[in-house]
């Protein structure tokens, strides 16, 4: 699926549609540069999962957990994780535990943990076209 959005609200809305289709064990790997809209889309995903839309960037906390619905959402920001980190180093973030917990895991800056992403990862690339336009490409299974 490839879509152009024209506002953060539209990106969030697309996130809601994706969030409503997610299931236990799903991993979402975002790519796209600074300010692409990864956190905005995660806000929509959380809302679509029934978790409300009070989602903020986990840049300093590394991971935020949202859990009032049936499915938990683990929201990572790997911006500060060096790309050459070993599996053992990444283990300290709780990433492996989260992806095996039966919730949904969404990862900003997944470029930095490319080798650790499991098979079946849903990939969402957000490309900045102009101030308000983004080209969003979703590669997953036939749900998307
Ligand atoms: N079409 C759009 N989709 C998403 N965000 C948009 C769009 N147009 C403008 N924006 C703006 O771009 C910014 C996206 O910020 P956001 O924090 O979601 O990006 P991010 O990819 O998470 O950045 P970071 O890499 O810093 O974590 C917001 O200020 C938002 O209002
Ligand atoms: Mg962000």
Closest ligand to Cα 30: 1
pTM assigned to the model: 0.95
**pLDDT tens per residue across span 33-83:** 999 999 999 999 999 999 988 899 998 889 999 998 789 999 999 999 999
Q: What is the reported pLDDT for 125?
A: 98
Nearest-atom number in ligand 1 for the CA of 43 is 18
Residue of 32, 25, 18 whose CA lies nearest to 111: 32
For atom 25 of ligand 1, the residue with the nearest CA is: 34
Residue 88 CA, ligand 1 centroid: distance in Å:
31
Q: What is the reported pLDDT for 59?
A: 83
**pLDDT tens per residue across span 85-124:** 999 999 999 999 999 999 999 999 999 999 999 999 999 9
Domains of the chain: 2-139 (3.40.50.300)
Residue 38 CA, ligand 2 centroid: distance in Å:
5
């Amino acid at each position: 699926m490839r879509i152009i959005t024209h506002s953060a609200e539209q990106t969030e809305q697309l996130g809601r549609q994706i969030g409503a289709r997610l299931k236990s064990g799903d991993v979402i790997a975002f790519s796209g540069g600074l300010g692409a809209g990864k956190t905005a889309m995660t806000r929509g995903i959380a809302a679509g999962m029934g978790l409300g839309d009070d989602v903020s960037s986990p840049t300093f906390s590394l991971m935020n957990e949202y859990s009032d619905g049936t499915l938990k959402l683990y929201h990572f920001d790997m911006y500060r994780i060096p790309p050459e980190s070993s599996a053992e180093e990444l283990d300290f973030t709780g990433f492996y535990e989260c992806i095996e917990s039966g919730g949904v895991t969404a990862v900003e800056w997944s470029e930095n943990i490319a080798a650790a992403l499991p098979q079946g990862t849903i990939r969402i690339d957000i490309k900045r076209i102009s101030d308000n336009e983004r080209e969003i490409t979703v590669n997953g299974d036939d749900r998307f």
